[in-house]
Amino acid sequence: MSSVLVVHGGAWAIPEELARPSVEGVKAAARAGSSVLRSGGSALDAVEAAVRAMEDNTVFNAGHGATLNADGKVELDAIIMDGKTLASGAVSSVKNIANPVSLARAVMEKTSHVMLTDTGANLFAESIGIRTVPADELVSDFEKKEWEKHKNYVTGVIEDFSFQRDHDTVGAVALDSSGNVACATSTGGIRNKMVGRVGDSPVIGCGGYADNSLGAVSCTGHGESILKVTLARLILSHVEQGKSIADASKLALKYMSDRVQGGGGAVVVSPSGQWAATFTTQRMAWAAVERDELWYGLEQNERLKDQL
Ligand code: GLY
| Confidence check: pLDDT of 159 > 60 | no
- Per-residue pLDDT at 104: 98
Which is nearest to 74 in space by CA: 169, 191, 200, 201?
A: 191
Q: What percent of the chain has pLDDT over 70?
A: 95
38 CA from centroid of ligand 1 (Å): 31
Choose which residue among 55, 67, 226, 280 to substitute to test ligand 1 binding: the one with the highest number of ligand atoms within 8 A of its C-beta.
226
- CB of 223 closer than 6 angstroms to any ligand 1 atom: yes
Give pLDDT tens digits for 110-119: 999 999 999 9
Residue spans per domain, the chain: 4-302
Nearest CA to ligand 1 atom 5: 189
Question: Ligand 1 pocket, 200 CB below 6 A?
Answer: yes
pLDDT tens-digit map of 160-213 = 444 455 778 999 999 999 999 999 999 999 999 999 999 999 999 999 999 999
How many whole angstroms from 292 Cα to the centroid of ligand 1?
A: 32
* Average pLDDT score over residue span 29-39: 97
CA dist 306 and 308 (Å) reads 6
| Distance in angstroms (rounded) separating the CA atoms of residues 223 and 161 | 10
Which fold does the domain 4-302 belong to in CATH?
Answer: Glutamine Phosphoribosylpyrophosphate, subunit 1, domain 1 (3.60.20)
Between strands 170-175 and 4-12, the pairing is: antiparallel
190 CB within 6 A, ligand 1: yes
Taking only the tens place, the pLDDT of each residue in 55-83 is 999 999 999 999 999 999 999 999 999 99
Q: State yes or no: pLDDT of 257 exceeds 60.
A: yes
Q: Which of 111, 119, 132, 169 is catalytic?
A: 169
Model confidence band, residue 5 (pLDDT cutoffs 50, 70, 90): very high
User: Is 290 a pocket residue for ligand 1 (Cβ < 6 Å)?
Assistant: no
- What is the rounded distance in angstroms from the CA atom of residue 15 to the CA atom of residue 122? 33
Q: Is 34 in the pocket of ligand 1 (CB under 6 A)?
A: no
Q: Is 230 a catalytic residue?
A: no
Name residues whose C-beta falls within 8 Å of residue 65's C-beta, 6 or more positions apart in sequence.
57, 58, 59, 138, 140, 142, 143, 167, 188
Residue range 89-109, pLDDT digits in tens: 999 999 999 999 999 999 999
pLDDT for the residue numbered 164: 56
Q: What is the DSSP letter of 137?
A: G
- Ligand 1 atom closest to Cα of 207? 1
| pLDDT, tens digit (0-9, with 9 covering 90-100), for 212-255 | 999 999 999 999 999 999 999 999 999 999 999 999 999 999 99
For 221-247, b/e burial (b = at least 16 CB within 10 A) is: bbbebbbebbbbbbbbbbbeeebebee
pLDDT of residue 152: 59
pLDDT digits (tens, 9 = 90+) for 115-138: 999 999 999 999 999 989 998 899
Residue 269 in this model has a pLDDT that exceeds 90: yes
**Model-level pTM?**
0.95
Beta bridge partners of 182: 82, 174
Can you give the pLDDT at residue 32? 98
Whole-number Cα distances in Å, 7 to 31, 171, 258, 266: 10, 6, 26, 9
